[in-house]
Structure 1
């Protein structure tokens, strides 16, 4: 994948049943829709979650029916809500062979979902004319946690089309400084320095005790101190307000429609190979601080890398993980290379490794999110308010 690569046609890039069944998030989507087709399962109510044998037995008793668009969107929201990268997944007690049986039992449901065409548009590349940056109102949550911060400055602006003489900056999307001196998170250079410093500290600890298990950061996103944006569903609802990993119950947002520089270079993460390609060309070893926490969610102990976003920025201005890309990649162990990438070090933990390959993980990305690594935001052309309507159980504008 290079900046000059032409994106594939929509037809070639559509999600297949095999794509869904091969990935954790894809299987979760299909499984959630299958559960909607029955009124009750033996494990409903207060009973414990079932083993694979019970799951397979019940799935085989069902005849797949075509889901509605609203059911698919709701199931996708449930998938994202349940995404975790710091603990074992819900099906942790299923062995590899049993997961294979569940996958085959889900195949008719996956094939039915794909045949509806409802997921076809999920493979589209980034639409530069439909990008919205979000500022969240987390005042109530902060007060619960003992922090007293005001609303981001964007909440002081009138909604609707903006006067381009009014400059809206990235800092407007973040709450103001609080008593503890909280500030806008750092950019790429500061982020890289922190990753390297933290990694060195962890590696020194492991050198003293090779069996030490320390939990560290679990995400693989660029730093928050960058512009990020999302698109909209066909009904106009912002994807980014409905699909949020690690959601703390946010219920109000201001959205800024962005005008991008027309020559912005976009890295499209459509498949695990796209992510692996970035990791091979711009590897950043994070084994020391990710090894334990990612072994919890994947069962794998070994060498881990993520893309060095400070170097990716030399080739690309933005990195887009679309809906299809998210379903194919999020939570899956992505094989990067045999052996090791980058500099060898005796302080990289290896005790108890399950393989000697290098792998990566897409973690913490919200579906259809683009992180902007360079300054390509020309203007904010519109401001809109969104809030969660608990009575209607949906996000509404205004």
Structure 2
């Protein structure tokens, strides 16, 4: 899938990427005004905005900034030069701020408004033309895959075969639990639509920055250390999720209804009410050895309502960009390495210990 600027703006994470790039412009009065306008307009749009504390000052009335005023302020700021560091930083922020178990952040609501999307359109076009993002469209790099185990994480002893055999029973039990619960439509529950998290997972390595999974993590816990290791992955067909159409096709081929358990969380994050579907991963595993989410597929699909027609709709949630889940064993292909960072929020801050 070629990176389409319109598709980028149709995806919640793609829009957030463009917003983060736009406000990374050099510091000017116009830039300061835009940052201020985006913050207050987003604050007003948030369903749970919280309370702003005025440090060292007498509490004062919050500024009222409309969507149109925020868009106008952004429009007065030129699109910054797209350096690799700027793009990587914006991508990391867009991934880290993904949250599918609650209403969207106010700034994500703001970025979806037509006036703001129009301002972000030149940013999306510039991103799509950048040579630095060509790898975002790449299929799984089967000869360059790495596992990442962060501090405090552990991999269970079960084989992929055993995990996939047990997974449908767990899903069915969860659906029954939520279907029988009182006020189930108000209960938080599972929000992800990934294959079982205990399956082997890998990403490619990006030179001195290390494996992609070190820095591109949704809702990161701020890990400071990890063990990474090159991996020998299964040979065979890998399903590529490169956009909403690929995700929809996978859901249609192997539909699994998850309305009871996802009804509340996916309604909160998307505003949609209705039947929800995700892929039946035990069935998917019979047609491929793995499933890979491209970076472009992530930005255009994650968090978006993917229409399935008569089947209902789906949400791709819980994945990391460039992440591949494997339905068969992954074995070490070299020595493990310890990696550390002083600031996991900064691109390029991870280094080999």
Which residue, out of 216, 232, 252, partners 2:205?
A: 232
Q: Which has the larger radius of gyration?
A: 1
Q: Are residue 397 (structure 1) and residue 352 (structure 2) matched?
A: yes
Give, in angstroms, the shift of residue 246 of structure 1.
Answer: 2.3
- Using the size of structure 2 for normalisation, the TM-score is 0.84
Q: Say if 1:290 and 1:90 are closer, same or farther in 2 by CA, change over 3 A.
A: same
Residues 203-218 of structure 1 mapped to structure 2, 5 A cutoff: 203-205=179-181, 212-218=185-191
For the residues of structure 2 that align with 1:47 and 1:364, how far apart are their CA atoms? 26
Higher helix share: 2
Where in structure 1 are there 5+ consecutive unaligned residues? 1-12, 139-150, 153-169, 175-183, 341-357
Tell me how far 1:264 sits from its aligned partner: 2.2
User: d(CA) in 1 for partners of 2:335 and 2:145?
Assistant: 11
Relative to structure 1, is the Cα distance of residues 17 and 88 closer, same or farther in structure 2, using a 3 angstrom cutoff?
A: same
Q: Deviation string for 1:282-333 (max 9, x for gaps)?
A: 1110000101111101011111010000000000110101211111111111
The residue that corresponds to 2:25 in the other structure is 37
Q: Please list, as runs of the form range in 1=range in 2, the aligned pairs for 1:128-207 lying within 5 A after superposition.
A: 128-138=142-152, 171=156, 187-205=163-181
Aligned-partner Cα distance in 1 for 2:38–2:241:
40
Q: Which residue of 1 aligns with 2:55?
A: none
Instruction: Look up the SS of the partner of 2:71 in the other structure.
Output: helix
1:92 deviates by 7.4
Structure 1 partner of 2:71: 56
Distance 1:118 1:287, change over 3 A: same
State how far apart, in whole Å, the 2-side matches of 1:213 and 1:386 are: 41
Going from structure 1 to structure 2, the CA distance change for 1:392 and 1:108 (only over 3 Å counts) comes to closer
Q: Does 1:248 align with 2:263?
A: no
1:191 shift after superposition = 1.8
1:67 aligns with 2:59: no
Matches within 5 A, 1:41-120: 41=33, 43-44=35-36, 48=40, 49=43, 50-91=65-106, 94=109, 99-120=113-134
Q: Does 1:374 align with 2:328?
A: yes
Shift of residue 51, structure 1, vs aligned partner: 3.9
Structure 1 position 113, deviation (Å): 2.1
Secondary structure in structure 1 of the residue aligned to 2:220:
coil
Residue matched to 1:276: 248
Aligned-partner Cα distance in 2 for 1:307–1:239: 25
**Aligned residues of 1:66 and 1:113 also touching (Cα < 8 A):** no
Q: Counterpart of 1:21?
A: 9
With the length of structure 1 as denominator, give the TM-score of the two structures.
0.75
DSSP-derived class of the 1:257 partner: strand
Q: Decide whether aligned partners of structure 1 residues 123 and 46 sit closer, same or farther in structure 2, where only a CA change above 3 A counts.
A: closer
* Structure 2 unaligned regions, length at least 5: 44-64
CA-to-partner distance for each residue in 1:336-373, whole Å, 9 max, x for gaps? 122x3xxxxxxxxxxxxxxxxx0000101011110001
**1:57-79 deviation per Cα after TM superposition (whole angstroms, max 9, x unaligned):** 01211222321101100111101
Summarize deviations over 1:124-158 as a string: whole Å, max 9, x none.
100111101111212xxxxxxxxxxxx85xxxxxx
CA-based RMSD of the aligned residues comes to 2.7
* Count of residues in correspondence between the two structures: 322
Residue number among 140, 152, 163 corresponding to 1:126 in the alignment: 140
**Given that residues 37 and 70 in structure 2 are in contact (C-alpha distance below 8 angstroms), is that contact kept between their aligned partners in structure 1?**
no
Alpha-carbon shift at residue 38 of structure 1 (Å): 4.7
- Contact 1:66/1:112 (<8 A) preserved: no
Map of 1:221 onto structure 2:
194
Equivalent residues of 1:256, 1:384 under 8 A apart: yes
